[in-house]
Amino acid sequence: MSEAEMQETYSLFPGCIAKNMYPSIEKSTYTVFEKIGVKLLNHRYSCCPAPGVFRGYDRKTHMTLGVRNIVMARQDNVDVMTICNGCYGSLWEANEMFRKSKENQDFVNEKLAKIGLSYDGKTNVLHFVDVLHKHLEDVRNAKEVDLGLKVAVHYGCHYLRPSEKHPDINPESPHVIEDVVEALGCESVDFKNKLSCCGAGGGVWSGAEELGLRVLDEKLKNVRDSGADCIVNICPFCHMHLDQSQGKLEERYKIPVLHLSELTGLAFGIRPKHLAMHTHLISTRDIEKKIKKSKKGSDSEE
């Protein structure tokens, strides 16, 4: 039996933004999954490719480049685990398009053959939050501090929709991220239009910036009204828009934004400095102070 079969193992698909802009997300992912006993491998991936641009321009190009990525994991007989809704949506759809149509299989394999690759459709594309959710008990066991934060959960679009991805989840009333943040000792607060878009997708972030900012402004207003300490997301692209575009708005919300892997890392006792939390544009120091306080509280109880 190979090593991969003995331990739960996935190929980590970090995505451009996590590895090239928010290394804190990549770093916390490695640490968190190691602590819950899941092994992550690396493969030579390209951009997923970005669905907002490439799928909108040419679906077949998007599918073929997506499948090329999946083939890298297929060669080691492991499934792909994404930490971004954009990557997840891209690779999941490329995989489905490939699996569902003989014409697409022939098209992709003819292109891939020219660079010495082929694919049989057998690899699955997963989202890290589903893997974390499966390991909720391990998450509770690895937790070193009850964070005690009020968090505004932001699902982002392409984890939930199109809902064919998750037949078991009601896309109008999901309870996946909530379960994880509650396991970390956080309270998930409700807010208006909680499940709506951040405003960055579909090529709008770069192509129609003003619209993206207006949608973001509406979102942040609703989050602020909820009294949450921070936003918790599962998508570095949403994360980037929520964090970095805040400074472009007239209203200064200054709401900290954390990727779920970062939040989990902090609950597992990793020091913010070791996660490079300072790479966030909106300071996370208030959050860190609150966590420190919670930690002191739980230490003195013992």
Partner 1 sequence: MSEAEAKKVEQMEEDPYELEQFHKILEDSKILSCVQCGKCTGGCPAGRQSRIRIRELVHLAHEGHDIKDCKELWLCTTCYNCQERCPKGVDTTEAIISLRNRAIRKGDHNFPEIHTTAITSLRDQADGFPLSPDVESIRSVIGLPKHPHDLAHDPEGLKKFQALMDDLGIVELVMKKQCGEGKPWKYVDIKYKPSVARGTKKEGESNE
- The tokens for 275 are 């996660």
Distance from CA of residue 254 to its chain's centroid? 22
3-state secondary structure of 283: coil
Residues between 71 and 110 that touch partner 1 (CB under 8 A): none
In the list 115, 167, 168, 301, the residue contacting partner 1 (rule: CB under 8 A) is 115
In the list 35, 36, 38, 51, the residue contacting partner 1 (rule: CB under 8 A) is 51
Unique residue bearing structure tokens 């570095």: 236
Q: Which of 135, 210, 247, 50 is nearest to 257 (CA)?
A: 247
Distance from CA of residue 131 to its chain's centroid? 12
Return the number of other C-beta atoms located less than 10 Å from residue 252's C-beta: 9
| Helical spans, DSSP H, in 122-259 | 128-134, 136-142, 157-160, 177-183, 204-207, 209-226, 236-244
Residue whose CB is less far from partner 1, 70 or 200: 200
> Shortest approach of partner 1 to residue 210 CB, angstroms?
8
CA–CA separation, 216 vs 84, rounded Å?
18
Under rule CB under 8 A, residue 249 binds partner 1: no
Under rule CB under 8 A, residue 37 binds partner 1: no
> Shortest approach of partner 1 to residue 250 CB, angstroms?
13
Sole window of 74-82, 189-197, 220-228, 286-294 interacting with partner 1 (rule: CB under 8 A): 189-197
Sole window of 14-22, 133-141, 183-191, 223-231 interacting with partner 1 (rule: CB under 8 A): 14-22
Residue whose CB is less far from partner 1, 59 or 290: 59
CA–CA separation, 245 vs 204, rounded Å?
13
Residue whose CB is less far from partner 1, 189 or 276: 276
In the list 47, 136, 169, 249, the residue contacting partner 1 (rule: CB under 8 A) is 47
Sole window of 50-58, 76-84, 121-129, 143-151 interacting with partner 1 (rule: CB under 8 A): 50-58
Return the number of other C-beta atoms located less than 10 Å from residue 274's C-beta: 12
Residues between 216 and 245 that touch partner 1 (CB under 8 A): 218, 240, 244-245
In the list 5, 34, 56, 251, the residue contacting partner 1 (rule: CB under 8 A) is 56
Residues between 118 and 147 that touch partner 1 (CB under 8 A): none
Per the CB < 8 A criterion, the answer to whether 237 and 245 are in contact is no
Under rule CB under 8 A, residue 49 binds partner 1: yes
